[in-house]
Structure 1
Amino acid sequence: MGQTHSDERRAPPSREELAKALASTHSAAKFADKCFTSLELYSFKEVFKSLADQEQNVRHLKEDTIARFLEIPDVLSVSPVIFQMMSYIGAFPFLRDAPAVLGLEEMVMVITIMTDRYQRVLAKGSADRRKLLFKSLAVYDRKLSEPLNNDEPPATDGPGAPTTPSHISGFAVDIAGDDEDELGDEDGDELVLAALDSLDYANVYKHGDGPPPHTALIPADNWKKVIMLLLLVSPLGAQESLSSYSNRVVGEELEQLRDAADCIVASFLDVEHSTGITFPRFNSIVASSVPFIFIGFTPLFEHFLFSKTLDFHKRVGDTTAASTVVTDVVQPLLQDKGSILNLSIMSQISFFVPGESLFRKLRLLYTGDEDGFSMGSFETKVFNWRAPTIFLVHGTCIPDEAHKASGAEATFLSTLPPRRLPSGNRGTGERVTFGVYLSQPWRHTHRECFGDSGSILFQLQPVHDVFRATPTNKDYASFTKPSASTPIGGVSFGCPPPQPTQAYRRSSTISMGPVSLVVDSSFEFGCFTHHYSSRGGSAFQGSACRKFDFQDRFEISSLEVWGCGGDEEAKHQAERWAWEAREAEARRRINLGTGDIEADRALLEMAGLIGGNRSGGSMM
Structure 2
Amino acid sequence: MGQVQSDENRPLPTHEELTKELANKFAEKCFTSLELYSFKDVFKSLADNQNEVRYLKQDTIAQFLGIPDILGVSPVLFQMVSYIGAFPFLQDAPAVLGLEQMVVVIAIMTSRYKQVLVKGASDRNKLLFRSLAVYDRKLSATYQEGVSSTTREADGSKADSTQPSVSGFAVDTPGDEENDDSDIEDDELVCSALDSLDYVGASQRKSVSTMHGAMIPADNFRKLVMLLLLVAPLGDQENLSSYADRVSGTELESLRERAECILAAFLDVEKSPGIKFHRFNAIVPVSMPYLFDGLGPLFEHFLFSKNLNLSQHTVEGPPVPVTSLPQPLLQDTGSIMNLNVLSQLSLFIPGSSLFRRVRLLYSGDDDGFSMGSFESKVFHWRAPTLLLVRGVRLSSETGHTGSGSESAFLSTLPPRRSPPGGTDGEQLTFGLYLSQPWKYTNRECFGGDDTTLFQLEPIHDVFMPSTLNKDYVSYLRPSSSTNHAGISFGCPPPHPTQTYRRTNTIPLGSISLVLDSSFEYGCFTHDQSSRGGAFQPSPARRFNFQDRFEVTHLEVWGCGGDEEAKIQAERWAWEAREAEARRRINLGTGDIEADRALLEMAGLIGGNRSGGSMG
Q: Which residue of 1 aligns with 2:156?
A: none
- CA distance, structure 2, for counterparts of residue 421 and residue 533 of structure 1: 11
Given that residues 140 and 214 in structure 2 are in contact (C-alpha distance below 8 angstroms), is that contact kept between their aligned partners in structure 1?
no
Given that residues 85 and 137 in structure 1 are in contact (C-alpha distance below 8 angstroms), is that contact kept between their aligned partners in structure 2?
yes
Q: Which residue of 1 aligns with 2:399?
A: 403
| Residue of 578, 582, 598 corresponding to 2:577 | 582
- CA distance, structure 2, for counterparts of residue 130 and residue 504 of structure 1: 46
Q: Which residue of 1 aligns with 2:494?
A: 498
- CA distance, structure 1, for counterparts of residue 556 and residue 564 of structure 2: 15
Q: What secondary structure does 1:309 align onto?
A: coil
CA gap of 1:403–1:139, structure 2 versus 1, over 3 A, is same
Given that residues 478 and 517 in structure 2 are in contact (C-alpha distance below 8 angstroms), is that contact kept between their aligned partners in structure 1?
yes
- CA distance, structure 2, for counterparts of residue 421 and residue 14 of structure 1: 66
Query: What amino acid is the match of 1:49?
Result: K
- CA distance, structure 1, for counterparts of residue 449 and residue 430 of structure 2: 19
For residues 502-530 of structure 1, what are the alpha-carbon distances to aligned partners after superposition, in whole Å with 9 as ceiling and x for unaligned?
79873210010000000000100000000
Select between 13-22 and 279-288 the one with higher mean Cα deviation.
13-22
Q: State the shift of 1:95 in Å.
A: 0.9
CA gap of 1:294–1:145, structure 2 versus 1, over 3 A, is closer
Q: State the shift of 1:313 in Å.
A: 2.3
CA gap of 1:500–1:106, structure 2 versus 1, over 3 A, is same
CA gap of 1:605–1:413, structure 2 versus 1, over 3 A, is closer
Instruction: Work out whether 1:197 is the aligned partner of 2:193.
Output: no
Counterparts of residues 328-367 of structure 1 (less than 5 Å): 328-367=324-363
Q: State the shift of 1:327 in Å.
A: 7.1
Given that residues 284 and 544 in structure 1 are in contact (C-alpha distance below 8 angstroms), is that contact kept between their aligned partners in structure 2?
yes
Q: State the shift of 1:368 in Å.
A: 0.1
Corresponding pairs, count: 565
Given that residues 391 and 428 in structure 2 are in contact (C-alpha distance below 8 angstroms), is that contact kept between their aligned partners in structure 1?
yes
Given that residues 166 and 272 in structure 2 are in contact (C-alpha distance below 8 angstroms), is that contact kept between their aligned partners in structure 1?
no
CA gap of 1:133–1:604, structure 2 versus 1, over 3 A, is same
- CA distance, structure 1, for counterparts of residue 471 and residue 165 of structure 2: 47
- CA distance, structure 2, for counterparts of residue 563 and residue 246 of structure 1: 27
Q: Which residue of 2 aligns with 1:188?
A: none
Given that residues 139 and 273 in structure 2 are in contact (C-alpha distance below 8 angstroms), is that contact kept between their aligned partners in structure 1?
no
Instruction: Work out whether 1:412 is the aligned partner of 2:412.
Output: no
CA gap of 1:69–1:326, structure 2 versus 1, over 3 A, is farther
Instruction: Work out whether 1:530 is the aligned partner of 2:529.
Output: no
- CA distance, structure 2, for counterparts of residue 208 and residue 30 of structure 1: 23
Q: Which residue of 2 aligns with 1:50?
A: 45
CA gap of 1:159–1:434, structure 2 versus 1, over 3 A, is closer
Q: Which residue of 1 aligns with 2:209?
A: 210
Query: What amino acid is the match of 1:81?
Result: V
Counterparts of residues 187-586 of structure 1 (less than 5 Å): 195=194, 197=196, 207-213=206-212, 215-269=213-267, 274-315=272-313, 328-401=324-397, 403-406=399-402, 407-425=404-422, 427-500=423-496, 506-534=502-530, 536-586=531-581
For residues 393-414 of structure 1, what are the alpha-carbon distances to aligned partners after superposition, in whole Å with 9 as ceiling and x for unaligned?
0000001135212211111111
Q: Which residue of 1 aligns with 2:172?
A: none
Return 5+ residue gaps in structure 2 as ranges: 150-161, 168-191, 610-615
Q: State the shift of 1:121 in Å.
A: 3.6
Q: State the shift of 1:600 in Å.
A: 2.4
Q: Which residue of 2 aligns with 1:117?
A: 112
For residues 580-607 of structure 1, what are the alpha-carbon distances to aligned partners after superposition, in whole Å with 9 as ceiling and x for unaligned?
1110000011127976367525752686
Q: What secondary structure does 1:591 align onto?
A: coil
Instruction: Work out whether 1:103 is the aligned partner of 2:103.
Output: no
Q: Which residue of 2 aligns with 1:182?
A: none
For residues 480-522 of structure 1, what are the alpha-carbon distances to aligned partners after superposition, in whole Å with 9 as ceiling and x for unaligned?
0111111211000000113347798732100100000000001
Given that residues 90 and 107 in structure 1 are in contact (C-alpha distance below 8 angstroms), is that contact kept between their aligned partners in structure 2?
yes
Q: Which residue of 2 aligns with 1:16?
A: 13
Q: What secondary structure does 2:265 align onto?
A: helix
Given that residues 260 and 344 in structure 1 are in contact (C-alpha distance below 8 angstroms), is that contact kept between their aligned partners in structure 2?
yes
- How high is the TM-score relative to the length of structure 2? 0.85
Identity percentage of aligned residues? 63
Query: What amino acid is the match of 2:289?
Result: P
Given that residues 387 and 569 in structure 1 are in contact (C-alpha distance below 8 angstroms), is that contact kept between their aligned partners in structure 2?
yes
Q: Which residue of 1 aligns with 2:152?
A: none
Q: What secondary structure does 2:539 align onto?
A: coil
Q: State the shift of 1:252 in Å.
A: 1.0
Q: What secondary structure does 2:310 align onto?
A: coil
- CA distance, structure 1, for counterparts of residue 94 and residue 165 of structure 2: 28
CA gap of 1:291–1:387, structure 2 versus 1, over 3 A, is same
- CA distance, structure 1, for counterparts of residue 199 and residue 563 of structure 2: 46
CA gap of 1:134–1:574, structure 2 versus 1, over 3 A, is same
Q: What secondary structure does 2:503 align onto?
A: coil
Q: What secondary structure does 1:600 align onto?
A: helix
Q: State the shift of 1:303 in Å.
A: 0.2
CA gap of 1:599–1:119, structure 2 versus 1, over 3 A, is same
For residues 409-430 of structure 1, what are the alpha-carbon distances to aligned partners after superposition, in whole Å with 9 as ceiling and x for unaligned?
11111110114310111x1110
- CA distance, structure 2, for counterparts of residue 198 and residue 528 of structure 1: 52
Instruction: Work out whether 1:134 is the aligned partner of 2:129.
Output: yes
- CA distance, structure 1, for counterparts of residue 269 and residue 6 of structure 2: 54
CA gap of 1:429–1:504, structure 2 versus 1, over 3 A, is closer
- CA distance, structure 2, for counterparts of residue 494 and residue 200 of structure 1: 51
- CA distance, structure 2, for counterparts of residue 613 and residue 386 of structure 1: 23
Q: What secondary structure does 1:313 align onto?
A: helix
Instruction: Work out whether 1:67 is the aligned partner of 2:67.
Output: no
- CA distance, structure 1, for counterparts of residue 573 and residue 67 of structure 2: 46
Q: State the shift of 1:237 in Å.
A: 0.5
CA gap of 1:283–1:198, structure 2 versus 1, over 3 A, is farther
